[in-house]
Homo-oligomer: A and B are copies of this chain.
Amino acid sequence: MSDSKQTRPRGFTSDNIAGVSPEVIAAITACASGQALPYGNDELTHTVERQLAEVFEHSVDVFLVSTGSAANALALAAITPPWGSILSHADAHINRDECGAPEFYTAGAKLVQLPGEAGKIDIDALAANATRMVGDIHSIQPSSVSITQATEMGSVYALDEIKAIGRICRSANLPLHMDGARFANALVTLRCSPAEMTWKAGVDLVSFGATKNGTFGVDAVVSFRGDLASTIAFRRKRAGQLSSKMRFMAAQMDGYLRDGVWLRNATHANAMASALAQGLALVPGVKIQQRPEANILFCRLPTSLIRGLLDMGFRFYHDRWEPGIVRFVTSFATTEADVSDLIGAATSLCAPVGSARVPAGAE
């Protein structure tokens, strides 16, 4: 993934290999000089707080942090006691990819891993676990639920699915957290409002991701429950996540939210994944696992094709889930040409030997 000699970026490993939206750079640059109050008492942070209240059509408490893991862990620690459990999908980022950040921030809570198709929590499994061993002094107590939207598998919970989860949570008195590392990607797929996808469906807190979709180092805990504000505030400070020059965190978020940059970016990233799916579906031997609902595409590729693409410099995760399974991730920065290159390469690599010789043997 060197930025050097290749004519075109060939990385599809993750949306975190992308750079940053020009609007974000502009926003940072605009506040580079002058003085501002530190620790979030500046005007730009207040602006972002207002923006997110408008985005969500709800009073919100906003806590800007430097990573999605920090956002998740902070949010979960605010709603899960040390003797509690967090119900999430077994493949959730909080369970697999954060090196125990939730356990650290909660002082030792446990993640209960639920099954479910395509990265989505199975609703029956959730219902069964939501009240499991409640009141049993020997057992960790079900304390919170976390869903990822869009999921790590590239799927998107439908509004009805979120609502069903929300109902279970309310009836079991479990706060519902949404890991929205790819919040915008899911949102544009559902063509609904942020309010509909969150608090109207029963979500209490969101990790509102921005880093994967246009900024370079800011995500936010957005809480609809005012009673959690103090807990989160002190935990953020204590975690070393209260930025002194907060205006630069806010500037990124401002550049991201203003004029719909975030929605445009997500719409584009999703479209690139769709285009990739359409193109690859036509390549002999390629099997699309599931139509991409956000900006992640899982498909099955012949081993020779995987090798061939790697040899040509394309980069993507493969053979981590099961042999032959490949994951391609697009981003706001992926271009149509990037996608065409990949499809073209796959097509040529899969062309029958005979046909490939045709031009050579012409005349």
Q: Which residues does A use to contact B, with CB under 8 Å?
A: 1-3, 9, 11, 14, 16-20, 22, 25, 28-29, 31-39, 43, 65-74, 81-83, 96-101, 103-111, 137-141, 211-212, 216-217, 231, 233-235, 237-245, 248-249, 333
Contact = CB atoms under 8 A, between A and B. Distances in A.
A17 B37 contact: yes
Contacts of A96: 138-139
Given A28-B28, A29-B25, A108-B107, A83 B238 contact: yes
A362 B242 CA distance: 56
Given A96-B139, A137-B234, A137-B242, 12 more contacts: A1-B36, A3-B36, A16-B245, A17-B37, A19-B34, A28-B28, A29-B29, A66-B241, A99-B138, A101-B239, A217-B245, A217-B249
24 contacts: A1-B37, A2-B43, A19-B32, A20-B32, A20-B33, A39-B138, A66-B67, A66-B241, A67-B240, A67-B242, A82-B238, A83-B237, A97-B139, A98-B238, A99-B139, A100-B110, A104-B107, A104-B238, A105-B240, A108-B238, A137-B234, A137-B242, A217-B248, A217-B249
A23 to B, nearest CB: 11
A110 B95 CA distance: 10
- Among A37, A66, A68, chain B packs the most CB atoms within 10 A around the CB of A66
B104 A82 contact: yes
Contacts of A100: 82-83, 108-110, 140, 238
Contact of A33 (B19, B43, B81): B19
B35 A17 contact: yes
A138 B17 contact: no
A270 to B, nearest CB: 19
Contact of A66 (B22, B66, B235): B66
A31 to B, nearest CB: 7
Contact of A20 (B70, B82, B238, B248): B248
- Among A81, A83, A234, A240, chain B packs the most CB atoms within 10 A around the CB of A240
Given A73-B240, A103-B108, A9 B34 contact: yes
Contacts of A1: 35-37
Contacts of A81: 231, 234
Contacts of A239: 70, 101, 104, 239-240
Leading 9 A-B pairs by shortest Cβ distance? A70-B240, A103-B108, A107-B107, A66-B66, A16-B244, A216-B248, A69-B240, A3-B34, A83-B234
A45 to B, nearest CB: 13
A337 to B, nearest CB: 14
Contact of A101 (B31, B65, B98, B238): B238
A308 B217 CA distance: 41
Nearest to A138: B97
A193 to B, nearest CB: 28
A71 B243 CA distance: 12
A17 B37 CA distance: 6
Contacts of A245: 16, 18-20, 211, 216-217
Contacts of A3: 34-36, 43
Contacts of A18: 35, 245
